[in-house]
Amino acid sequence: MLDPRLIRESPELVRAAIAKKHLKVDLDAALGADTAWRAQLHEVEQLRSVQKAANAAMAALAKGSPEFSAKVAEMKAVSSRVKEREAGLKAAEEKCREAMLALPNLPHSSVPDGATPEQNIVYSAHGDTSAVGPNAVPHWDVPGFARLFDFERGAKVTGAGFPFFVGEGARIVRALINFFLEEAARAGYVEVSPPILVNAASATATGQLPDKEGQMYETTPDRLFAIPTGEVPLTNFYREEILEAAALPVYRCAYTPCFRREAGSYGKDVRGLNRVHQFDKVELLKWVDPATSYDELERLRADAEALLQKLEIPYRVLLMCGGELGFAQSKKYDLEVWAAGQRRWLEVSSCSNFEAFQARRAQIRFRSRDTGRAELVHTLNGSGLAVPRVLAAIIENNLEADGRVRIPAALVPYFGKSHLSFA
RNA sequence: GGAGAGGUGACAGAGUGGUCGAAUGUGCAUGAUUGGAAAUCAUGUGUACUCGAAAGGGUACCGAGGGUUCGAAUCCCUCCCUCUCCGCCA
């Protein structure tokens, strides 16, 4: 949610910023709803003020006295008017809230213009992507792949995109999760194991609701949502709380499975481990003082990058253009690994600053040292990292002539041996 | 899942229809006292919206939502959560 004051006072500034995101947004509807709501609020408050004054006067009168009865008769009329106007006020408030929730976050001034993936800026590139081994193939074509990553049985048991990870396949997943968690801890992130079902209020705070229900799995009859990312429970940890300034910044990390319906995906994007409905991810999350949030974003990106460097996977960093930003993001870097067999880049991390957008929805504040008042924190998050695509890249980049996959040195202690075998 | 008891400010805890945004205590802040501290005393100490240049007003919030009433923390209904006992269970 945006600062309502900003929308009222500088609507053209907001309009221009939203245009950079290439989203169709009815700002005037929000402005109109806000004005209407405030006018009605003022009216109701004045009526209530009359009621309160009368109540004070009546408290001093004898219950049965004629003066008392006269007041009751008089206030009945006011009461019914209050009821009527309150109903209108409630409707106006709801309408205003809906309109406000529909407004996206504004991009930061350093975000490049653009509407398409081609307009993202390659911020940096690391490692060699030119040397393609003679046996580099898409990971799903590696002989024996289906033994370790059993999509067929997963489809039988659950549905498409819910693979079983078997034997060394399961072991490499566990090794990656542990590696990511240990590295995060070393970088100062406190580990959390959160619920992986969340309620509607939590999904609203991080921006999945309203509008994006279709991308989440939803349970009945309790209406809980399977998290699409650890960001959701993690961010909501401090929902409706006021933190002490001294407690900031807070760094947390969490391993969770993530669930995505991915309605509308198709083709080569969804082959193999590229896109699945359930996958493992370690999420990094920060709650920070607003003054520091863009420095924190750079550090967050560096933390995520360090993982890829240690795994010796060629990767690049994209600075996302306005049109490629998510609804709630102010600025985002994507980390993409090189999948040598597919000869394409796979996104394995998104590091974003949400500024106060989520914090306002979630009412996460801190007690400012300067003003003594409760102010909204800034939230940031990034993957550190998503398991299946990192795994795909390791398989495709490290496939050796004998059909085995060389495990990066940093991962060997976690995996327990130097090679993964499909035999 | 069943039965019962509860949910009040940072915390404890009073308040069962009117002058209650809410006693009292603790904590915290500032000041007095002190060489300094403790103790003591005094004052202050929530969030949000809104009007105002400011000073200062107004309104809402006693788990959430709805209802009754001229008036609700207080009465009624629904839901959520916590605790105790029972059942079930990794």
Tell me the pLDDT tens digit for each residue of A266-286.
Answer: 666 778 999 999 999 999 999
Taking the C1' atom of every nucleotide in all shown strands and the CA of A60, the nearest one is: B19
A72 touches strand B (CB under 7 A): yes
- A48 alpha carbon, distance to own chain's centre: 41
Expressed in percent and rounded to 5, the helix, strand and coil fractions of chain A are 45, 20, 35
Please state, rounded to an integer, the average pLDDT across all residues of chain A. 91
Q: Considering only residues 20-49 of protein chain A, which place a Cβ less than 7 A from any atom of strand B?
A: 38, 41-42, 44-46, 48-49
Lowest mean pLDDT among A81-90, A227-236, A392-401: A81-90
Q: Considering only residues 373-402 of protein chain A, which place a Cβ less than 7 A from any atom of strand B?
A: 373-374
Distance A4 CA to B46 C1' (A): 23
A343 touches strand B (CB under 7 A): no
Taking the C1' atom of every nucleotide in all shown strands and the CA of A48, the nearest one is: B59
**pLDDT of A92 strictly over 80:** yes
- Across the range A284-300, mean pLDDT stands at 95
Q: Which two tokens stand for residue A369?
A: 């040292």
**pLDDT of A264 strictly over 70:** no
Distance A127 CA to B90 C1' (A): 47
- Across the range A1-29, mean pLDDT stands at 90
Four-CA torsion A126, A388, A395, A343, nearest 10 degrees: -60
Q: Is the peptide bond before A11 cis (omega within 30 degrees of 0)?
A: no
Q: Tell which strand B nucleotides have any atom below 7 Å from a protein Cβ.
A: 18-19, 46-51, 58-60, 66, 70-71
Distance A63 CA to B14 C1' (A): 27
A51 touches strand B (CB under 7 A): yes
Distance A201 CA to B75 C1' (A): 31
Q: Angle, nearest 10°, between helix axes A293-310 and A168-186?
A: 140
Residues facing residue A243 across a β-bridge: A366
The per-residue pLDDT for range A334-382, each reduced to its tens digit, is: 999 999 999 999 999 999 999 999 999 888 888 877 777 788 899 999 9
Distance A241 CA to B30 C1' (A): 27
What does the alpha-carbon distance between residue A21 and residue A320 come to, in Å, rounded to a whole number?
A: 11
Three-class SS of A294-318: HHHHHHHHHHHHHHHHHCCCCEEEE
A369 touches strand B (CB under 7 A): no
Distance A44 CA to B17 C1' (A): 23
**pLDDT of A109 strictly over 80:** yes
- Across the range A19-45, mean pLDDT stands at 90
pLDDT of residue A211: 78
**pLDDT of A242 strictly over 90:** no
Residues facing residue A15 across a β-bridge: none
Residue closest to B59, CA→C1'?
Answer: A45
* DSSP one-letter code for A106: P
**pLDDT of A188 strictly over 70:** yes
pLDDT of residue A266: 65
pLDDT of residue A67: 86
The per-residue pLDDT for range A46-87, each reduced to its tens digit, is: 999 999 888 888 888 888 788 888 888 889 988 988 888 888
Phi, psi of A19 (to 5 degrees): -60, -35
- Across the range A383-395, mean pLDDT stands at 96
Give percent above pLDDT 90 in chain A.
60
Residues facing residue A288 across a β-bridge: A378
Domains of chain A: 4-101 (1.10.287.40), 117-420 (3.30.930.10)
What does the alpha-carbon distance between residue A203 and residue A338 come to, in Å, rounded to a whole number?
A: 32
Q: Which two tokens stand for residue A295?
A: 């420095």
